[in-house]
Each structure stands twice: as C-alpha cells, then as structure tokens.
Amino acid sequence: MSVPLFDTASPLAPLRDELRDAILRVVDSGAFVLGPEVQAFEHELASFVGASEAVGVGNGTDALTIALRAMGVGPGDDVVVPSFTFYASAEAIPPTGARPVFCDVDPETFCVTPETVRAALTAKSKAVIVVHLFGNVAPVAEIEALGVPVLEDAAQALGSNGPEGRPGSIGTAATFSFFPSKNLGGFGDGGAITTSDPELADRARRLRFHGSRDKITFEEVGYNSRLDAIQAAVLRVQLPHLDRWSDGRRAAADHYRRAGLGELVSLPRASPGAEPAWHLYVVRTPEPESLAAALQAQGIGARCYYRVATHQQPAMREFAPDRQLPGTELAARTNLAIPISPVLDEEQAHEVVDAARSHLAARPLAVGTFRN
C-alpha cells in the first residue's frame, strides 16, 4: 500500500458535485475577478479565523508584501523574519523597500520565539513576520509585546488553534495561501490578508488594485493581485469542512504516536496550548536522507524541507546575518516530512512506522529522539 506525502484528492471526492456547481455558478455570473463571490468568501474567512476583515489577493506571497505595505513598511525599514521557512516569507520583504533581518527558530517547534526575535531586532525594525510553520502556532502575543507589530505568515496554519486564538486573528495582520496543497487549497493560486484593523484592510484593498479605490484615481503604486471568483467559490465549498479536516490531521499525528514513531525519531512539538492542524508532519532524525530513501522505496512519501535555509539562498546573500542561526541549521539538517492528511488512517500510520522501524533497526546509530 503506498502512502502519499499529501492526499488532497480524497477529502475533495465527496464534494465533487458541490464544487462543480460552485464553478458553474461563477461561469454563469460572468463575474470572474473579485465581485460578490470573493466578498462572501472574505466574510466567511474572517469569521472563521476570528478577525473582522479579510482581503482576497492573488497568492500568499503577494499577501505578505501587500500586508507589510499596508502596515506602513517601506524603504529604510527592517523586517525580522525566520530563516527556516518557505523562501517566500522573506522574498516578500525587499519589494516593499525594506530589508529582511533573519532570526532563528526553536528546532523542536520549528517556530520563532520571543528570544530569537529579540536577538534580531534593530532600531529600524518596523515589523516581525512570525511564521506558523508546518501548522504549529508561534507565540505571537509574546512577540508583539516586544513592541514591534507582528504579521503572521499563516500560509500553513489555517485550521490550527492557539492559546490566544486562531492564526489569522492574533497579530496586527496575517496572511494565507490557498495554493492547492495547503490545508484549504484552491484550484490554482490564491491568498488573503486578515486583520481587525479596518484602516489596514482598506489600504490592503487599495494596494491589491493598483493603489486605486475607484479605477479613476491611482493614489499610490500598488499591485494587480486579486482573488479570482472561481477560487473563492471553490474555497467557500471547502471552508465548512476545514475543522473536521484539521481534526483528521491531528488524529493522524495521534496514530503515529500510538504506533510508536516517537521511539524512532523526534516528533514535532506543539507550542504550549496549541492544537496544530499539521499541514506537514515533520520529524527529526540524524540521517533524514537515508530514512527518506527507505520510505520512498516502500511507496511512502517523504521529503526534507528547506534543506538550504533562506538566509543561505543566493538571492538573500546580501541580507545574510553575521550571527549563526543554530536552531535553523539543526532544523534544516535533520528534518523529514512524512505523510499527513485529513484522511491518513491508523493502518497507513502503522505502515509508515513499520517501514521506518525496519530501516532504522539496520542503522542503530540513526535511531532515536534527540534533544538539542
């Protein structure tokens, strides 16, 4: 039995007719970009996360750039961002004119901490991008208490719950991606910004449409980055199922635990009080590549993420810090994502754990959980 790294098709199969009807509704309406379908989705998304406003945009990367600009970030500013994340978290900063300043992560949660952020703050820090990586929930309120506004990069954390609320409602603003493999995935690119600051939302709405409110006066240089109505319609069909799917992701993590995975590798640690909707289930092991190859040979999806951390990417060289980022380097060197989905069942979890166990039994030095 093969176990894919992601399974986006199975949860959608029972919704096939509803999805088709939603797409045809948009086709019949003739309103393809923004419009009532997007407005309805924005309303539903804002209420799902617990924010008062949502602004649909073209993708999660544009969402970050537009949100930063709506927060007032511009030339001469610094923005703190973790290095252990998808590259787009940092890539979104230079287009605002600001400079990314890389901070470290806790390799057990894969998220930034108040200490790692504090170490990267400068006199010019205008914002901190806090990434809820792999669906875990970073301590946003503690970080915002350092005195710099937080933009949550919640691209991987829609459906997670944190002690301070849902990602999307905790910081000054938050961003989401609806890339097809995400917890809530469209049938193409899409993204959104959420906030409870109406002025920030208003500026983001203007920026997503060329810096104009009315197509007549263009008040500032903006972007053409709008959510398509077909994506909004497809996302509206799925959103009511997201809590159940997130429960399924958490149940899959429990299946792994009960099958004994924690005796073989280090399991990801949920942040205190968090209920992550694991977008990726990322364990740590001293030799992740050999375990990945062994799992793949059995038809089991496995992949090391962000092996070259963002601050070491060629395009980010000019922003690379002088300091070492030991948590980032450890996470980059030892992580391995194994299959997770809303429908991963006990039998599949056992299959993954048994395959890992038989590979690691032959390599005793590679077995084991480790603390840092």
Binding site residues, ligand PLP, CB under 6 A: 59-61, 85-86, 88-89, 131, 153, 155-156, 177, 179, 189, 191
- Of residues 179 and 256, the one with the C-beta less far from ligand PLP: 179
- Of residues 57 and 264, the one with the C-beta less far from ligand PLP: 57
- Of residues 86 and 209, the one with the C-beta less far from ligand PLP: 86
- Of residues 70 and 367, the one with the C-beta less far from ligand PLP: 70
Do 194 and 169 meet the contact criterion of CB atoms below 8 Å apart?
A: yes
Measure the CA–CA gap between 238 and 48, rounded to whole angstroms: 12
Phi, psi of 202 (to 5 degrees): -65, -40
Do 188 and 54 meet the contact criterion of CB atoms below 8 Å apart?
A: no
Closest approach, Cβ 158 to ligand PLP, in A, equals: 11
Measuring CA to CA, how many Å separate 180 from each of 116, 185, 233, 279?
31, 4, 14, 12
Measure the CA–CA gap between 235 and 361, rounded to whole angstroms: 44
Closest approach, Cβ 191 to ligand PLP, in A, equals: 5
Q: Closest residue to ligand PLP, Cβ-based?
A: 60
Residue at token pair 């949920």: 270
Residue at token pair 């008062």: 52
- Of residues 61 and 285, the one with the C-beta less far from ligand PLP: 61
Closest approach, Cβ 178 to ligand PLP, in A, equals: 7
Torsion, Cα of 71, 313, 115, 287 (10° steps) = 140
- Of residues 54 and 353, the one with the C-beta less far from ligand PLP: 54
Closest approach, Cβ 271 to ligand PLP, in A, equals: 16
Measure the CA–CA gap between 37 and 42, rounded to whole angstroms: 9
Closest approach, Cβ 16 to ligand PLP, in A, equals: 24
Measure the CA–CA gap between 95 and 360, rounded to whole angstroms: 45
DSSP assignments along 238-283, one per residue = HGGGHHHHHHHHHHHHHHHHHTTGGGTSBPPPPPTT-B---SSEEE
Closest approach, Cβ 64 to ligand PLP, in A, equals: 6
- Of residues 60 and 168, the one with the C-beta less far from ligand PLP: 60
Closest approach, Cβ 130 to ligand PLP, in A, equals: 11
Q: How many helices (H) and strands (E) does the chain have?
A: 13, 9
- Of residues 191 and 288, the one with the C-beta less far from ligand PLP: 191
Closest approach, Cβ 297 to ligand PLP, in A, equals: 27
Helix (H, G, I), strand (E, B) or coil at 129: strand
DSSP tag of 137: -
